[in-house]
Chains A and B, each alone.
Chain A
Amino acid sequence: MGKRTRRGTELPETVFCDASYLIAFFAPSDSAHEKARRIRKRFKDRPVRLFTLWPLLSEAATILLYHYGYAHASALLQAVRAFTVLTPDENDYVEASALFKEWNRDQKLSLNDLLTYVIVKGRLKDMPVLSFDRDIVRMRLRIVT
């Protein structure tokens, strides 16, 4: 199960945003939007670096475009400059593909979920993650709540 960073503990200076957090932040009608804003407020007046992946930005922008329209997708993509956006390399995809077969008995994890796992656990050295996706939360990642 995911490990959660508890309230009151020191906030990380680097966090990884998955697609569900990006969607929640730019989707004001979403049930997770206020929670996304509350998490953001906890980081107020602190230096913080945000990381994500290009495939996750693509996923989030597509969903925002379909359900909220061009302006919301565009707002997310204008905010790209705030992120260190990583591009998965071939090894990341190969490893995620292997895990896809290994871990996916219930067929719920997407390749992007597994790419997130591979990169957060590897290159990003178990960086804390912002996510509202149960599949991501179920993996052994440090979820910021």
Chain B
Amino acid sequence: MTSKAAITAVREALLTLPEKLAPGDSVEVLRHGKTVLKILRPLPQDEGNAFDVLDECLAALAPSGRRPPKDLASRHKHYLYGKKNAPGD
């Protein structure tokens, strides 16, 4: 597939997206067997409990085996930006 053909395939996929996808589904556009575009259609935001999706993604996690800091959430800026004058300290 040429680049032009790949772009056309992506455009066509985008145009047909609302009809092709159910909420929560995804579509992939492949080029030479490799994904060039993957789109997830969001769940409808006016129904259901969005936390269910978070639970599902959390449940699929195996323990990382690392020893991360215990205060990562509350002081994430400290860990992200460095110690000196770090926000959140």
* Chain A residues at the B interface, C-beta cutoff of 8 Å: 19-21, 23-33, 36, 40, 43-50, 59-60, 62-63, 66-69, 71-72, 75-76, 78-84, 107-110, 113, 132-135
Contacts and interface: CB of A to CB of B under 8 A. Distances in A.
B74 A132 contact: yes
Given A47-B46, A75-B58, A81-B40, 12 more contacts: A24-B72, A26-B58, A26-B61, A32-B71, A36-B73, A44-B51, A48-B50, A48-B51, A84-B45, A133-B73, A134-B74, A135-B88
Contacts of A75: 57-58, 60-61
B63 A28 contact: yes
Interface of B: 24, 40-43, 45-58, 60-64, 66-74, 76-77, 79-81, 85, 87-89
Contacts of A31: 70-71, 73-74
Contact of A108 (B48, B71, B88): B88
Given A26-B58, A133-B74, A49 B50 contact: yes
* A30, A66, A69, A80, most chain B CB atoms within 10 A: A30
A40 B73 contact: no
A24 B74 CA distance: 8
A63 B51 contact: no
Interface class of chain B by DSSP: loop
A67 B46 contact: no
A81 B38 CA distance: 13
Contacts of A30: 68, 70-73
Nearest to B71: A31
Give 10 nearest A-B pairs by CB, closest first.
Answer: A82-B53, A24-B73, A67-B68, A82-B50, A32-B73, A79-B57, A50-B50, A23-B73, A75-B57, A31-B70
A26 B80 CA distance: 17
A68 B72 CA distance: 10
B79 A63 contact: yes
A27 to B, nearest CB: 6
A22 B43 CA distance: 18
Among B60, B62, B69, B87: residue with most chain A CB under 10 A: B87
Contacts of A33: 73
